[in-house]
Structure 1
Amino acid sequence: MILRTFGWSLAVTAAGLAYAAWQWGWEAFGIVLILSILEISLSFDNAVVNAGILKKMNAFWQKVFLTIGIMVAVFGMRLVFPVLIVAISAKVGPVEAVELAIDNPDRYEDLVTDAHPAIAAFGGMFLLMIFLDFVFEDRDVKWLGRLERPLARLGRIDMLSVCVALIVLLVTAMTFATHAHVSTGHADKAATVLLSGVAGLITYLVVGGLSGYFEDRLEEEEEREHETGEGKGKEKAGAGGKPVSAAGLAGKAAFFLFLYLEVLDASFSFDGVIGAFAITNHIFWMTLGLGIGAMYVRSLTVYLVRQGTLDDYVYLEHGAHYAIGALAAILLVTIQHQISEIITGLIGVLLIAASFLSSVRRNKALAAEEDVSRAPVPV
């Protein structure tokens, strides 16, 4: 099971490291390896959240996520995205941006650093909304009950997540953004942060709203079929008299869930891409190292889904969402202050480890209760 799930990741790791050593030498080998470990440590919470969404999708869309999705993750976010940021910042074409990355890597790094406030605001707001919607929802299973119960009661207020996120964005724009960290020192990026943060919020509301809408439509369709006793293969007339099948609705729901997953993965990758410049400004070393890490995140997502880990360890999803909240806060703080990627990675790993241990203790307690209930009653 482990070899089948992680086989491609292991193969890509071996090929990538061998190519780095052959093409650029042992220094490149070491840096690519470090970047791979960095990406995995930063994105473990991403895998847990992805697994919670991926298990709702059918086998076809899971394969799409693992094929087209990995291409977007590796080449889109780890190679094309930094180039586009530089192209927009320097007002040059993509080809010129690649040439700049190869011929003048220091200037390339400066341009990406200058774009960091906008990137951090967009990603930070998107991740913050994920965290807020999670903690404001009333759930049957609660990890930190004393915190989650009052937050769930507050969550009954309509649009509370959006209000809190906008307040956080305004505070960020008036504090961190006025002395944003750029290549030349510090600059006032309040307007840029506000615009990018609102764009991140809108992206979350649109993509998340559409995926939720079609998912609800699918559930309603399945409930109606169950109540009327009709088979899944039958079609029902939709708007305009055209037949709408349950499979079609599943496709729409899965499509928008796929888009949601891609935007989520992009938001998680922001800190890894930016943090990689602390190790190297060689564009191809970064793409190779971060791409290898992204492969393991995908494999770990599949492993969690196939093993039913989230069902067995019910607090893992809580820990991952708290890690998302921490990452959102860190991204916003890094608009002004530099924070080591080691700290970012450790916070996520510690929160998930704590939620895993709590899940283990819960499972042992439930097993002990079942043993007691099954014990024969003395006569």
Structure 2
Amino acid sequence: MFLRTFGWSFGIAVVGLVLGFLYGGTTGLALTAILAILEVSLSFDNAVVNATVLVRMSPFWQKIFLSIGVIIAVFGMRLVFPLLIVGITAKLNPVEAVRLALEKGKPEDPGTYGYLLHQAHPAIAAFGGMFLLMLFLDFVFEEREITWLTWLERPLQKIGKLDQLSVVIALAVLAVSAYTFGEQADTATHQRISTVLVSGVLGIGTYLLVNGLGEFFDVDEDEDEDGDETTPAKPKATHVVGKAAFFLFLYLEVLDASFSFDGVVGAFAITSDPIIIAIGLGVGAMFIRSLTVFLVKKGTLSEYVYLEHGALWAIGALAVILLVTIEYEVPEVVTGLIGVGFIGLAFVSSLVRNKRADDAPDRQPEAVEV
């Protein structure tokens, strides 16, 4: 199963390394490998969270996630989207944006592709940060039987009974972030604050729209399956299908985009060549997709029940970091270590819980206090 799941990833990795070598020689080959490893190491929490959504989708949509979804992730988010951002913020047409990208100017030099992308970072960080924050808040406010950080999650679940609390908190965090991190001592202060506010509201709105549509069509299709009172009720499908599955797929793509925004901008610290960045991050993105499917097929999330909790707390930390990067630089290694730390602790807690269950098979395993 391992080779069947990761076969395409290894194949794409070989092709990507060859393209990196043909495009940039040994330097291009090395940079492609470094960027691919960086993407995988920083996005493990992304794979875990994606797996919690993908497990609800049918095998057909899982294949779509690994095929069309990868095309969107590699070419759309790692290559086309940065070009669109630069084109829109600098008011350039597509041809000029591509020409500017191929010039490979350094991010420190005004007017270069990397510089313009860094200038657009506050908007990118606000959108991605608020989308991920909404995901985190909805998770910690949702009432669930199994808790990890019980001393904290239980009280949050109680206050989470207040309707739309996650939206209220997200808007408050956005306002504070805009006027704290969006302010700088120059004439563009008010413009920057408004950019952060608008981008953050769009991030919240996108989450509510995509997540809401997925839930709406899921319920709608369940009602269609139930039929009227004279029709025998059919057993509900294990996986969502149809429009509900499509919106779950769309939700996964936006989620991946929120994770990848900062990685694309941060990759310019390694190289200013957008082609090498797209190849390297694309190879890493393919491995993350395969890892997501592997976690689903192995039933890892049901075996190690705290992994989802660890990944969502890592997402909460990433959301905060993204908002901080509106004004301050945060090294990629810090972001990666925080994510790995949460997931590592969750994995160890899961192992302890499973051991307790094995030692006392007649008793329900207790929550592990962390």
Match of 1:287 in 2: 278
What is the SS of the residue equivalent to 1:73? Answer: helix
Letter in 2 for 1:217: D
- Is 2:243 aligned against 1:261? no
Select the residue among 329, 343, 352 that pairs with 1:352: 343
Say if 1:57 and 1:372 are closer, same or farther in 2 by CA, change over 3 A.
closer
Measure, in 2, the Cα distance between the counterparts of 1:290 and 1:262.
15
Q: Is the 8 A contact 1:85 1:115 kept in 2?
A: yes
Question: Post-superposition shift, 1:232?
Answer: 6.8
Q: Is the 8 A contact 2:61 2:249 kept in 1?
A: yes
Q: Is the 8 A contact 2:226 2:233 kept in 1?
A: no
What is the SS of the residue equivalent to 2:43? Answer: helix
Select the residue among 197, 201, 205 that pairs with 1:202: 205
Match of 1:376 in 2: none
Q: Is the 8 A contact 1:271 1:331 kept in 2?
A: yes
Deviates more, 1:276-285 or 1:25-34: 25-34
Q: Is the 8 A contact 2:128 2:319 kept in 1?
A: yes
Letter in 2 for 1:3: L
Question: Post-superposition shift, 1:118?
Answer: 0.3
Q: Is the 8 A contact 2:127 2:199 kept in 1?
A: yes
Question: Post-superposition shift, 1:228?
Answer: 5.2
Measure, in 2, the Cα distance between the counterparts of 1:321 and 1:295.
21
Q: Is the 8 A contact 1:314 1:359 kept in 2?
A: yes
Question: Post-superposition shift, 1:40?
Answer: 0.8
Match of 1:332 in 2: 323
Measure, in 2, the Cα distance between the counterparts of 1:126 and 1:30.
33
Q: Is the 8 A contact 1:74 1:287 kept in 2?
A: yes
| Structure 1: runs of 5 or more not aligned | 234-245, 374-379
Match of 2:29 in 1: 29
Measure, in 1, the Cα distance between the counterparts of 2:297 and 2:115.
43
Match of 1:116 in 2: 121
TM-score (norm 2): 0.92
- Is 2:117 aligned against 1:126? no
Select the residue among 166, 169, 176 that pairs with 2:171: 166
| Structure 2: runs of 5 or more not aligned | 107-111, 365-370
Q: Is the 8 A contact 1:225 1:231 kept in 2?
A: no
Question: Post-superposition shift, 1:226?
Answer: 11
For residues 109-146 of structure 1, the C-alpha deviation after alignment (integer angstroms, 9 at most, x for no partner) is: 11001100000000000000000000001110100100
Question: Post-superposition shift, 1:179?
Answer: 2.3
Measure, in 2, the Cα distance between the counterparts of 1:219 and 1:260.
20
Question: Post-superposition shift, 1:220?
Answer: 4.0
Structure 1 stretches of 4+ moved >6 Å:
none
Measure, in 2, the Cα distance between the counterparts of 1:226 and 1:4.
45
Q: Is the 8 A contact 2:307 2:346 kept in 1?
A: yes
Match of 1:236 in 2: none
Say if 1:92 and 1:210 are closer, same or farther in 2 by CA, change over 3 A.
same
Select the residue among 185, 194, 216 that pairs with 1:213: 216
Measure, in 1, the Cα distance between the counterparts of 2:104 and 2:253.
31
Question: Post-superposition shift, 1:331?
Answer: 0.3
Question: Post-superposition shift, 1:363?
Answer: 0.6
Measure, in 1, the Cα distance between the counterparts of 2:354 and 2:184.
48
Deviates more, 1:168-177 or 1:86-95: 86-95
Letter in 1 for 2:249: F
For residues 142-168 of structure 1, the C-alpha deviation after alignment (integer angstroms, 9 at most, x for no partner) is: 001000000000000001000000000
TM-score (norm 1): 0.89
Q: Is the 8 A contact 1:41 1:346 kept in 2?
A: no
Say if 1:166 and 1:227 are closer, same or farther in 2 by CA, change over 3 A.
farther
Select the residue among 239, 250, 253 that pairs with 2:241: 250
Question: Post-superposition shift, 1:55?
Answer: 1.1
Q: Is the 8 A contact 2:104 2:272 kept in 1?
A: no
Match of 2:103 in 1: 103
Q: Is the 8 A contact 1:117 1:193 kept in 2?
A: yes
Q: Is the 8 A contact 1:225 1:232 kept in 2?
A: no
Between Structure 1 and Structure 2, how many residues are aligned? 358
Measure, in 2, the Cα distance between the counterparts of 1:372 and 1:81.
52
Letter in 2 for 1:198: V
Where does 1:88-99 land on structure 2 (aligned, <5 Å)?
88-99=88-99
Question: Post-superposition shift, 1:217?
Answer: 2.6
Structure exhibiting the larger radius of gyration computed from Cα positions:
1
Match of 1:20 in 2: 20
Identity of aligned residues (%): 57
Deviates more, 1:20-29 or 1:283-292: 20-29
Say if 1:185 and 1:360 are closer, same or farther in 2 by CA, change over 3 A.
farther
For residues 2-56 of structure 1, the C-alpha deviation after alignment (integer angstroms, 9 at most, x for no partner) is: 1111111111112211221233111111111111111111211111111111111
Measure, in 2, the Cα distance between the counterparts of 1:292 and 1:133.
31
Say if 1:202 and 1:315 are closer, same or farther in 2 by CA, change over 3 A.
same
Q: Is the 8 A contact 1:129 1:162 kept in 2?
A: yes
For residues 87-109 of structure 1, the C-alpha deviation after alignment (integer angstroms, 9 at most, x for no partner) is: 11221111210110112523001
What is the SS of the residue equivalent to 2:269? Answer: coil
Letter in 2 for 1:276: A
Where does 1:228-239 land on structure 2 (aligned, <5 Å)?
229-231=232-234
Say if 1:221 and 1:34 are closer, same or farther in 2 by CA, change over 3 A.
same
Say if 1:369 and 1:223 are closer, same or farther in 2 by CA, change over 3 A.
farther
Q: Is the 8 A contact 2:78 2:282 kept in 1?
A: yes
Select the residue among 299, 304, 328 that pairs with 1:313: 304
Measure, in 2, the Cα distance between the counterparts of 1:127 and 1:150.
21
